Structure 1
């Protein structure tokens, strides 16, 4: 169970950072498009990590409940 809790904690931290980057990209859109693109790229990379963690937590959950 500790492994699942660690994954969930890491997910919430990454999700918070993802939201910050998306907001930053939106705010930079009018003033500096390059910074906006960089923030959006970083957010996409974080989203990929979040999807991988979601898959891992699903796998861990099905293994412990089986």
Structure 2
């Protein structure tokens, strides 16, 4: 398995987790605002990781070409 495959696999896993956290934050918004804020914070941190992985993936593809 090469570096691009590893990055893409990790990116897909984090993206699924990000979607779960955003949905969780939305669902908690009406019942428990503290839990909603915590889920939203975790989602933002994951989004930051996803953006870094996108950069790495793009950089690896440019090197491969």
Do the two structures share a fold, i.e. TM-score over 0.5?
A: yes
Q: Distance in 1 between matches of 2:22 and 2:38?
A: 10
Total equivalences in the alignment: 65
How far apart are 1:17 and its partner, in Å? 0.1
**Aligned residues: CA RMSD:** 0.9
Q: Which residue in 1 is equivalent to 2:5? A: 5
Residues 2-59 of structure 1 show CA distances to partners (whole Å, capped at 9, x for unaligned) of 1000000000000000000000000000000000000000000000000000000000
Q: Distance in 2 between matches of 1:63 and 1:4?
A: 11
**Unmatched 5+ stretches in structure 1:** none
Q: Which residue in 2 is equivalent to 1:15? A: 15
Q: Distance in 2 between matches of 1:12 and 1:60?
A: 17
Q: Which residue in 2 is equivalent to 1:36? A: 36
* Structure 1 outlier segments of 4+, above 2 Å: none
